[in-house]
Amino acid sequence: MRISKSFIPTMKEAPSDAIIPSHVLMLRTGMVRMLSAGIYSFLPLGYKVVKKITNIINEEMNAIGGQEFLLPALNPREIWESTNRVEAFGDTMFHLKNRDYVLAPTHEEIMTFHARGEMKSYKDMPQIWYQIQTKFRNEARPRSGIIRGRQFLMKDAYSFDSTWEGLDESYAKHYKAYQNIFDRCGIEYFVVGASSGAMGGSKSEEFMVKSEAGEDTVAYCKSCGYAANVEVADSIIEQIARNGESKDVYEISTPNIHSIDELCEFLKIDENETAKSRVYIHAGKPILVLMSGNDEVNETKLQSILGGEIRPAHPEELVEITGAEAGSIGPIGFKHRIIADNRLKNLNNLFSGANKTDFHIGGIDLQRDVENIEYLDMRTIESGEECTRCGETLEVFKAIELGHIFKLGTKYSEAMGATFLNENGQANPIIMGSYGIGVDRVLACFIEQNYDEKGIIWKAPLKPFDIHLLALNMKKEIVENESNEIYDLLLKEGYDVLYDDRRDAQAGFKFNDAELIGIPLQVIIGEKNIQDGLVEIKERKTGEKLLISKEILLDQLKDLVK
Partner RNA sequence: CGGGGCGUAGCGUAGUCCGGUCAGCGCGCCUGCUUUGGGAGCAGGAGGUCGCAGGUUCGAAUCCUGCCGCCCCGACCA
Q: Considering only residues 454, 480, 554, 561, which one is a binding residue for RNA as defined by CB under 7 A?
A: 454
Sheet holding 310-312, edge to edge: 310-312, 275-282, 285-292, 337-341, 374-376
Q: Which CB atom, from 17 or from 81, has the smaller least distance to RNA?
A: 17
Only segment of 256-264, 289-297, 493-501, 528-536 that touches RNA (CB under 7 A)? 528-536
258 by DSSP, 3-state: which? coil
Per CB under 7 A, does 536 bind RNA? Answer: yes
Min dist CB 126 to RNA, Å, is: 23
Residues 266-325 that bind RNA (CB under 7 A): none
**Closest distance between RNA and the C-beta of residue 4, in Å?**
11
What string of DSSP letters covers 30-81? TSEEEEETTEEEEPHHHHHHHHHHHHHHHHHHHHTTEEEE---SEEEHHHHH
Q: Which of 5, 97, 99, 528 binds RNA (CB under 7 A)?
A: 528
Residues 189-208 contacting RNA, CB under 7 A: 196-199, 204
CA 377/CA 235 separation, integer angstroms: 11
Query: Interface with RNA includes 489 (CB under 7 A)?
Result: no
Q: Which residues pair with 210 in a beta bridge?
A: 399
What's the rounded Cα separation, in Å, for the pair 183 and 391? Answer: 28
Q: How many residues bind RNA (CB under 7 A)?
A: 61
How many angstroms from the chain centroid is the CA of residue 475? 48
Q: Is 12 in the site for RNA (CB under 7 A)?
A: yes
Residue type at position 557: L
Q: Is 527 in the site for RNA (CB under 7 A)?
A: yes
What does residue 469 show for φ and ψ, rounded to 5 degrees? -95, 120
Kindly tell me which of 305 and 534 has the beta carbon lying closer to RNA. 534
The H or E element that residue 300 is part of is: helix 299-306
Number of H helices, E strands in the chain: 16, 31
155 or 343: CB nearest RNA:
155
Part of the chain binding RNA (CB under 7 A), chosen from 46-54, 142-150, 354-362, 442-450: 142-150
Q: Which of 52, 116, 137, 276 binds RNA (CB under 7 A)?
A: 137
Considering beta carbons, is residue 373 or 524 the nearer one to RNA?
524
Nearest 5 degrees, angle CA 322-CA 323-CA 324?
90
Rounded distance between C-alpha atoms, residue 531 and residue 323, angstroms:
88
Q: Least distance (Å) from RNA to the CB of residue 248?
A: 39
CB of 545 to RNA, least distance (A): 6
Q: What is the DSSP letter of 343?
A: G
Query: Of 3 and 497, which has the nearer Cβ to RNA?
Result: 3
Compare residues 297 and 347 and give the one whose CB is closer to RNA.
297
The answer to whether 272 and 292 are in contact (CB under 8 A) is yes
143 in contact with RNA (CB under 7 A) = yes
* DSSP code, position 90: G
**Does 14 contact RNA by CB under 7 A?**
yes
409 lies in the site for RNA, by CB under 7 A: no
509 counts as binding RNA under rule CB under 7 A: yes
Counting contacts by CB under 7 A, is residue 404 touching RNA?
Answer: yes
Coil, helix or strand for 82? coil
* The residue type at 484: N
Q: Does 168 bind RNA (CB under 7 A)?
A: no
By beta-carbon proximity to RNA, the closer residue of 192 and 366 is 192
CB 288 within 8 A of CB 277: yes
What does residue 256 show for φ and ψ, rounded to 5 degrees? 60, 25
Encoded amino acid at 295, one letter: D
Does residue 151 touch RNA according to CB under 7 A?
A: no
Report if residue 64 touches RNA, rule: CB under 7 A.
no
Closer Cβ to RNA, 83 or 473, answer by number = 473
Residue 545 in the binding site for RNA (CB under 7 A) = yes
- Contact segment (CB under 7 A) with RNA among 8-16, 110-118, 348-356, 551-559 equals 8-16
Residue 117 vs 508, nearer CB to RNA: 508
492-497 contacts, C-beta under 8 A, 24 or more apart: 493/554, 493/557, 495/466, 495/467, 495/557, 495/561, 496/465, 496/466, 496/467, 497/1, 497/465, 497/466, 497/467, 497/468, 497/469
Asked if 92 interacts with RNA (CB under 7 A), we say yes
CB 510 within 8 A of CB 502: yes
215 binds RNA (CB under 7 A): yes
* Residue 468 contacts residue 192 (beta carbons within 8 Å): no
**Which one of 52, 379, 538, 550 is in contact with RNA (CB under 7 A)?**
538
**Burial of 163 from C-beta contacts in 10 A (0-12 / 13-18 / 19+):** middle
Rounded to 5 degrees, what angle do the CA atoms 406, 173, 183 make?
95
Quick one: CA dihedral 353, 355, 358, 361, positive or negative? negative
94 counts as binding RNA under rule CB under 7 A: no
Rounded to the nearest angstrom, the gap between the alpha carbon of residue 85 and the centroid of all alpha carbons in its chain is: 24
Strand partners, 292: 275
Decide: is 140 part of the binding site for RNA (CB under 7 A): yes
In the complex with RNA, the residue whose CB is nearer, 216 or 395, is: 216
Q: Is 512 in the site for RNA (CB under 7 A)?
A: yes
Cα-Cα end-to-end distance for the chain: 19
CB of 455 to RNA, least distance (A): 8
- Decide if residue 508 touches RNA (CB under 7 A): yes
Provide the 10 A C-beta neighbour count for residue 214. Answer: 19
496: contact with RNA by CB under 7 A: no
- Nearest distance from C-beta of residue 48 to RNA, angstroms: 20
Check binding of 105 to RNA (CB under 7 A): yes
Write down the least CB distance from residue 197 to RNA, Å.
3
Residue 339 Cβ vs RNA, minimum distance, rounded to whole Å: 20
Q: Which residues bind RNA (CB under 7 A)?
A: 10-17, 19-20, 34, 36-38, 89, 92, 105-106, 135, 137, 139-144, 196-199, 204, 215-216, 404, 406, 436, 454, 472-473, 475-476, 504-509, 511-513, 515-516, 524-529, 536, 538, 545
